[in-house]
A and B are shown apart, each in its own frame.
Chain A
Amino acid sequence: MKSAFCLRMHLVSVLSAALLAGAAVPAHAGLFGKDSPVPQWGLDAAKTPTPANIGDASAVILFDEYVEAIDGQGRAVEREREAIRILKPQARHEFCAVSYDVDEKINYFREWTLAADGKTFQAKDTDFVDVGAGEEDAVRDIPILLQTEKTRIVRPPAEDVGATILCESEELMAPWKREKVWNIQEGRFVYEALEIDLPPGSQFAESWHRYQPVKPVEDAPNHWRWEIKDMPRLDLRDVKASPAWDALAARMSVRWGDLAADGRDNQWRALGEWIEQLETNRPSPSPEISAKAQELTAGSSDFFAKLTAITAYIQKNIRYFVIERGIGGYQAHFASDIYRNRYGDCKDKTTLLISMLQAVGIRAHYLQVDSDRGVVDPDSPSLYSDHMITAIEIPSGFKDPRLQAVVTAKDGMRYLIFDPTDERTPVGNLPSYLQGGYGLLATGPSSQVIELPVLDPSANGSERSGKFTLAADGTLSGSVDTLNFGPQGAELRQFLKFTDEKERREYWESMVARDLPGVVLDSFQFVEPDSLAKPLEFHFKVTAHQYAHMAGPLLLVRPRVLGSAARYFDDKPRKVPFDLEATGRWHNSFDIALPTGYVVDETPDPVDLDMDFASYHASVTAKDNVLHYERTYTVRQVELPADRAADFRKFESTILSDEKGTAVLRKQ
């Protein structure tokens, strides 16, 4: 389960059709929709034939060009020209969009349609609509992250199959922006280009993610142009167990001003210094903060005790909520305000944590990451990410086995990595979605990109045991006791936070019903869910009618009563890695007392499969009229390369076979 998204750094160029559908009111484009002839660039682009190799694309982007004109103060004016050909009916609701915030301005935004029958249209004022970019949590239906950012959308006239949509816009960007992230796989592109026009003497830095760098051409003095042809769309819709789209899609980042530096390490340093400068004085502890921190740590004897007291306070008492305004997408509020209001976003929570730790003599720093593993690329310096967490300096020589999420920086400094936004993962551990990713450690001149640790399987998982009685009519009843560790326990705790009693029962009943159709959850109990230091205990009792099935003289019963570890797999060629989600160890032990008069005729074969990335051991035994099932499933890596697809299939199919394994009972 992901933490809440926090930073608004993924610039939106195309929004979902649902958003457009939701914008029921047509808007005026003001000065932006004035009649003007179809531009020559559009006429030229429209001559581009549709490529033969479009795959499943419903539209093809014939031409897409960004020009970033940077002034002497580093402020950019961005112009985009785009030509899209509609190929299939489902693309009839494609549209162009320009996002803007409080300190930005759309200079103009025009659209023309070259219809399949040769007619030409231009969008008028009534075809434009502005919509707010407030992001709402669909599950909770409560807004927790709102933004002042808005998006202007044009609904192209005559948008039928065969039509070519031409859009051109120009926008004055926020004065503090120094980076353009060029997403080059958002569609099926025939041709795309990025230009940057810098003032004399200015420098730029570029970096590429999952794409061989393209050499720019200097069209004019300090005016650079990158071009890409025939870029396929990255479509992960039918790819299961895939890393996030952002982690896999090709992109390029170009930076200027203070963010331009030579060499990878210097570029990361420049970005880290920019963050630190942006947050200057934000964490300064107020007297109230200092007093609270002292109060919380009074009597704490060592580093870990102090740390736990403060992190637990922030996790429990600072509510996740923010309205981001302009640079507020990057910059935290002041710690004193956060403390007074008791709410904030990830930057705010990190700021308050740094502040409170500072008040008790512990140094901590901003660590910018992404909530999807693989988005932050150590070889591609960029601010492109969506989350802020905390790197806490560990005193020299201090050791404690509870400090698991530890990273050693290049200068030898050890940091404990902690996500204060995740309200349920205890300090020392690390949410699974962060493990194996990278982050930008903002420590002034020593800022650097660091790899986040992948924790040992023992730091995550569950221990589940069940004792059941099977009746002769097939009814299974019994109790299940589970201990949930690390991130697994945190996810469950998070679930408890956002559900009431009725929802918990419904959810859990539906989960159990996957394995036990028609189950009745007789009772359930979570023990001390707020106690982060302990594994989360979960106990429940169930009754499932007709769990075992008569087949002639036989009674068939599945020894693996509950829980599935098998992931989806298929025989399709694999091009992207497998996301294994989390390391961990899950152990099940089930005893089923058999009905009188039945004996075990057959049991499934034991399974012992040990691979480098995971292992699976399962066995079924019968003794004293009790059927005993035991399995241990261990995952040691969070990702598996695509060329290991055969191993993945073998592993998952083995699990599936075991999970479906049936014991055959025969009436004596």
Chain B
Amino acid sequence: MRNSHPLCSTVLIAAMLPAVLVRAQLQFQPPTPGELKMTADPDAPGADAVYLNIEETDNNPMSYESHYARIKVLTEKGKEMATVELPYLNLSSKVTDIKGRTIHADGTIVPLNVKPEDLMIAKSGDEQFKRKVFTLPSVEVGSILEYRYDISNCDQKYGGCFVVPPTWEIQKSHFVHRAHYQFTPPPSLMPAHASASFTDLSTWADSHGRIIQSIAFLQRLQPGSAVKVGTTAYTVDATDVPPVPTEEWMPPLASLLYRVSFYYTFARNGTEFWQSDGKLWSQDVDKFAEPSKAIKNALNGLVAPGDSDLDKAKKLYAAVEALDNTDYSRRKTASEMKELGIKAAKHAEDTWAQKSGTSEDIAMLYLAMLRAAGLNAIAVKVVDRDKGIFDPSYLTLYQLDATLVALNAGGKQMVLDPGEKMCPFGTVNWRHSGAGGINQSDKGIQISTTPEQSYKDNSVNRVADLTLDAHGGVTGYVQIVMAGQKGLQWRQAALRNDDTELKKQFDHDELEGLVPEGVEAHVDHFLGVDQPGQNLMAVVKVTGTLGTATAKRLLLPGLFFETRAGAPFVNEEKRLEPVDMHFAERITDDVTYHLPAGMTVEGAPQDASVPWQGHAVFILKSKADAGQIEVVNTLARAFSEAKPEEYQDLRGFYQQVAAAEQAQLVLKIAPAASAAPAAPATSTPAGKGN
């Protein structure tokens, strides 16, 4: 099945316009004395460079763009801004009139006199994705870099020009003092001319034959800034634009950055768009997922007439999950499909016949089977939350990535994710939870959001049984039981790797940094890797030196796990952007230390409870018995997202957790045993540090 309707793309190639040669290129401007003398920018403290000016002019009737930038270099690192890359699609666009110069702090001007290099990025037949690269000469700290170039969006081979509505990335890698953007569309599409007929492009329509009615735009701008609609053009003036944020656990960057994205559309408003495009999408879904005779036949042997609706749904889910999901194995190449006489699936029965399909194909097949079994099921199309956030005001289906199935069984609706290989029935990949999108309904298309997951859905339990010797040596096993997202993650990794490689990856990704310095932890084996309905368990072997012995004592980290991993946010004092930790979860560690003979507990980790009301809690308890001590701690995080204004509470919570995780365990050596000399550590994952 095709992914979505090819509507409202930001690059519209339906109209071929005659090239117009009269253009107004943006001009260099003399620097002010203040700009020349500037050594630091109070508006951007510590910045290595700042944009003094950015200008972009896009003229669709003339099919050209003109770009201009002026940059002040403030530090050695800022000199790297002298290198400029201009990606372009060869043949359908052309970068021309590149001019540049470097202005030293004393006003000396050094022009760019080296021809820009034309480098290939990727080539596909006649079409090449390329980049022009140039670097401005003689750059010094204090220099002003200035360059401009034009892009002509005309076909270099067959003639004719393209209409390319612009996307303005207002937020850059560096602070921007002033930016001016201007977009001139075909005059008849400006609101001032909305009633006029679009005579020069009267056949301009999308792939469904809908006449282009208007220009729409997504705008995400800083407060106080907005797209201005003129009589002939749209403009944006932005000042003091902060650089692209870089913070840990940020939502998808694409959903945060200031930008304006124009597109042509048939729709005059969002309601019209979603109902019209949504309807087309729904029709496509219903066509592909038609419960045809072949699908109904396929149900024979999979479900029994006496099965409950829920049992039927589970059995059919298992059947489609068992198919070859090519997003986790390998998609056949076009030549391979031709050789095998296989065609891209157009109906669910094709996917079933091939026993193979993409995640999308398999989700739609499941929908078809549910419907063939008489169940009430609809398709849901959602954004991948790892890539973006759904914005209903952005009138395009391209922002939606995955197809889910919503099943109504026994009066209860559940969202299922059959396109996710190894995803247990009843749950979804976190990327599809709390995700916005659209769904089918009796009343037409609805905009909706899938349910968030509870921390109870995603848990990791680490149970360690460790035996200590008198020198601090440790041996034992850890059982790591994963339910929910962690189990899904590693089961999917197992589809792409053999057992040996899977163990290595688990050692590297999960265990390194999890256990204390001096201790090695390696997966011995997994249990339940191919049984998504059950918990996944990793059995881990532990050896090494955990503690340090003194004449009278053995000193150990109170908590075996996470002692080196470090809690997040502890070092990040301020927060600009929301926090996105993907999914809620609960991690429980239960560690039993068997003590060496003759040793007793002199000091145990203090019991602690660190709550962040309504959001998270950390609990630590220890219990000493004869010959052993058990330390149990749980971190339950009920949230996956937090607002910037909640950040100080969040940080305070993790600071307390980090401190609690540093608790120590002190064992006292009985007088007879205290003569044992301290042995050196036997292994360490440490690197040479600071």
* A and B part of one assembly: yes
Q: Which residues of A contact B (CB under 8 A)?
A: 22-28, 56, 58, 88-90, 92-93, 119, 121-127, 129-132, 134, 140, 142-144, 146-148, 150, 155-160, 237-238, 317, 319, 321, 323, 325, 340-343, 497-502, 506, 509-515, 517-521, 545-546, 549-554, 556, 562-571, 581, 601-605, 650, 652-654, 656-657, 660-662, 664
Q: Would you call B138 and A342 a contact (CB within 8 A)?
A: yes
Contact B335 A121 (CB under 8 A): yes
Given A158-B336, A518-B655, A521-B571, list of 16 further CB < 8 A pairs?
Answer: A23-B122, A89-B496, A126-B334, A132-B121, A159-B330, A343-B139, A517-B659, A545-B659, A551-B666, A556-B555, A568-B684, A570-B520, A653-B680, A657-B678, A662-B664, A664-B552
Residues of B close to A143: CB separation below 8 A: 83, 85, 133
Interface on B for A, CB 8 Å cutoff? 45-48, 75-77, 79-80, 82-83, 85, 114, 117, 119-127, 129-131, 133, 135, 137-140, 329-330, 332-336, 338-340, 495-498, 500-501, 504, 517-518, 520, 545, 548, 550-553, 555, 558, 564, 566-567, 570-573, 602-606, 655, 658-659, 661-666, 678, 680-690
Contact (Cβ within 8 A) A552 B114: no
A654 and chain B: residue at smallest CB distance: B680
Residues of B within 8 A of A140 (CB): 80
The reply to whether B123 and A604 form a contact with Cβ atoms under 8 Å apart is no
**Bound complex: CA of A126 vs CA of B498, how far in Å?**
30
CA distance A23 to B133 in the complex (A): 20
> Which chain A residues lie closer than 8 Å to B76 at the CB level?
497-498
Q: Are B83 and A517 neighbours in the complex by a CB distance under 8 Å? A: no
A545 to B114, CA, bound (A): 56
> In the complex, are the beta carbons of A127 and B655 less than 8 A apart?
no
Candidates B46, B139, B683; contact of A500 at CB < 8 Å: B46
B330 & A340 in contact (Cβ 8 Å cutoff): no
**How far, in Å, is A511 (CB) from chain B's closest CB?**
4
Q: Tell me whether A554 and B602 are in contact in the complex, defined as CB-CB below 8 angstroms, given that A132-B119, A144-B80, A146-B119 are known contacts.
A: yes
Which of B571, B663, B683 contacts A509, CB < 8 Å? B571
Q: State whether A500 touches B75 (Cβ < 8 A).
A: yes
B498 pairs with A552, CB closer than 8 A:
no
Q: Considering only CB atoms, which chain B residue lies closest to A142 in the complex? A: B80
B572: chain A residues at CB < 8 Å are: 506
Contacts A90-B501, A129-B122 given; indicate if A157 touches B690 (C-beta within 8 A).
no
Q: Is B690 a contact partner of A562 (Cβ separation < 8 A)?
A: yes
Contact call A515/B334, Cβ cutoff below 8 A? no
Q: Report which residue of B495, B558, B573, B690 has the largest number of chain A beta carbons within 10 angstroms of its beta carbon.
A: B690
A92: B residues at CB distance < 8 A = 329-330
11 A-B residue pairs with CB within 8 Å? A27-B124, A126-B334, A126-B335, A127-B334, A131-B120, A144-B80, A146-B119, A500-B46, A602-B551, A656-B680, A660-B517
User: How far apart are the CA atoms of A402 and B29 in the complex, in Å?
Assistant: 48
**Contacting residues, chain B, for A341 (C-beta < 8 A):** 114, 135, 137-138
Given contacts A148-B119, A660-B518, contact A564 B690 (CB under 8 A): yes
Which residue from chain A places its CB closest to the CB of B117 in the assembled complex? A323
Question: How far is the CB of A94 from the nearest CB of chain B, in Å?
Answer: 11
> Cβ of A58: which chain B residues have Cβ within 8 Å of it?
498, 501
Q: Is the CB of A549 within 8 A of B682?
A: no
Instruction: Check B550 against A653 for contact (C-beta < 8 Å).
Output: no
Do B335 and A550 touch (CB < 8 A)?
no
With contact pairs A121-B339, A142-B83, A341-B114 given, residues A571 and B683 touching in the complex (Cβ less than 8 Å): yes
**Are B121 and A134 touching (Cβ within 8 A)?**
yes
A653 near B684: Cβ-Cβ < 8 Å: yes
Total inter-chain residue pairs, C-beta < 8 Å: 282
Identify A157's interface contact among B335, B501, B517, B664, CB under 8 A: B335
Nearest CB of chain A from residue B3's CB, rounded to whole Å: 14
Residue on A nearest B551 in the bound complex, by CB = A602
Cα distance A237–B570 when bound, in Å? 32
Q: How far is the CB of A38 from chain B (nearest CB, A)?
A: 13
Chain A residues contacting B122 (CB-CB under 8 Å) are: 22-25, 27, 129-132
Contacts of B130 in A (CB 8 A): 132
Query: Shortest CB–CB separation between residue B67 and chain A, in angstroms?
Result: 18
Q: Which of B124, B497, B517, B658 has the most CB of A within 10 A?
A: B124
**Within the assembled complex, what's the spacing in Å between the Cα atoms of A158 and B336?**
6
Indicate if the CB atoms of A321 and B45 lie closer than 8 Å.
Answer: no
Q: B126, B335, B662: which contacts A517 (Cβ < 8 A)?
A: B662
The one of B123, B496, B664 that contacts A90, using a Cβ cutoff of 8 Å: B496
CB-CB nearest in chain B for A29:
B125
CB-based nearest A residue for B555: A662
A304–chain B nearest beta-carbon distance, Å: 25
Q: Name which residue of chain B comes closest to A158, CB basis.
A: B336
With contact pairs A130-B120, A131-B121, A143-B133 given, residues A510 and B571 touching in the complex (Cβ less than 8 Å): yes
The residue from A499, A554, A605 contacting B666, defined by CB atoms under 8 A apart: A554
Interface pair A502/B689, CB less than 8 Å apart? no
Q: Is the CB of B666 within 8 A of A56?
A: no
Known contacts A238-B504, A514-B690; A551/B137 CB under 8 A: no
**Is there contact, CB below 8 Å, between A25 and B129?**
yes
| In the complex, chain B residues whose CB is within 8 Å of the CB of A237 | 504
Contacts of A571 in B (CB 8 A): 682-683
What are the residues of chain B within 8 A of A499 when measuring CB–CB? 77
The answer to whether B664 and A657 touch across the interface, beta carbons within 8 angstroms, is: no
Which B residues lie within 8 Å of A321 (CB)?
Answer: 82-83, 135
Is A342 touching B501 in the complex (CB atoms < 8 A)? no
User: How far does the Cβ of B499 sit from chain A's closest Cβ, in whole Å?
Assistant: 9
Do B688 and A581 touch across chains, with their CB atoms under 8 A apart?
yes
> How far does the Cβ of A628 sit from chain B's closest Cβ, in whole Å?
17
Complex Cα distance, B680 from A569, in Å, reads 12
Residue of A nearest to B248 (CB): A506
Candidates A148, A500, A566; contact of B77 at CB < 8 Å: A500
Q: Closest residue to A565 on the B side, CB-wise?
A: B688
Q: In the bound complex, how far is the Cα of B475 from the Cα of A571, in angstroms?
A: 14
Q: Which residues on the B side are within 8 Å of A319 (C-beta)?
A: 79-80, 82, 135, 139
Partner of B687, one of A130, A521, A553, A568: A568
Residues in chain B near residue A563, CB distance under 8 A: 689-690
Complex: how many Å from CA A125 to CA B338?
A: 13
